[in-house]
Structure 1
């Protein structure tokens, strides 16, 4: 956040305050348009899947980066956050070559063996478990390390 504020003051010193305001306003407007477009695409995919099969499926339509709606949504959100560094990161998420790079790096980071157990990494790996035909299997997660501990039964209270 300090870097963002410092960079905004440097740009304001080099140009003027109106330029900084217009840059921030443009980021909000473009980010909102990107999020709106990605949300409409996701809604269209969901309603199309519900009309044809009666149950939501994984989206088959992807953007040019091959990532569906995830990176455009993140990129649009980063564009809407005030600041120039977040705008650059948001634009990196929107362009296909850099979007694929960001996605590969995030996937590699979340699938690391040393990633802290019981955190977002475990949830991410479980969410990626699919059947061979590509459909997500809904159900209860069972710990394969052993049976669950027996329920503790407290003795009745006596006075």
Structure 2
């Protein structure tokens, strides 16, 4: 007996979802193999000291990047407050903070804290300022391309609209009252509700 229902559709897994677990497994195997090779060549105490040093250095890097990010956030907030009080439009607040690439600095610290020699090498590479700057520019270009290709009405489109600068940047909350509409006791003729009072 056949029914008119279509066969159930199976969702294909994306390539990234398929390859990510395999990549993580290969990375873990390679990390363990490297640790055993270094332990055989230099001794177990040397490997232990390398791992402890990576954790300590990673903690220092993350703490420093967090303090720097908080300082940039505070400076941007103070600049925005000063601009709002003076009635001017705020400039690109904290632009020098964006050039520091604190996110990549924190990622480098996190990679240093993860036990393993490959992750330590990647974390040390992210501590180099030109590498962070190049990765930051590449990430910005990738995000811009993705946002430009987003369909209208999507979350990415809304985010892009929110980034558009408005002249003066002031938002005044209130309600629009049309002069040409017939007026009743509480406003427009069709409105039977009393006005909102603070």
Answer yes or no: same fold by TM over 0.5. yes
Larger helix percent = 2
**Which residue of the partner structure matches residue 91 of structure 1?**
124
- In the alignment, structure 2 segments of 5+ residues that lack a partner are 1-27, 85-91, 167-198
Show the counterpart of 2:71: 44
Offset of residue 38 of structure 1? 0.7
Which structure's relative contact order is higher, taking Cα pairs within 8 Å and 6+ residues apart?
Answer: 1
Cα distance in 2, alignment partners of residues 128 and 21 from structure 1: 51
Give the distance between the partners of 2:94 and 2:141, measured in 1 at CA.
22
Check whether the contact 1:61–1:68 (CA below 8 A) recurs between aligned residues.
Answer: no
Q: Distance in 2 between matches of 1:112 and 1:52?
A: 30
Q: Which residue pairs with 1:70 in the alignment?
A: 103
SS at match of 1:61: helix
Long gaps (5+) in structure 1 = 134-159
Aligned-partner SS, 1:89: helix
RMSD after superposition:
3.4
| Equivalent residue, structure 1, for 2:61 | 34
Query: How many Å separate the matches in 2 of 1:97 and 1:22?
Result: 28
Match of 1:81 in 2: 114
Matching of residue 7 in structure 1 with residue 40 in structure 2? no
Change (3 A) 1:129 1:74: farther
In our comparison, the structure showing a higher alpha carbon Rg is 2
TM-score, normalised to structure 2, is: 0.51
Partners of 1:59 and 1:4 in 2: CA distance: 38
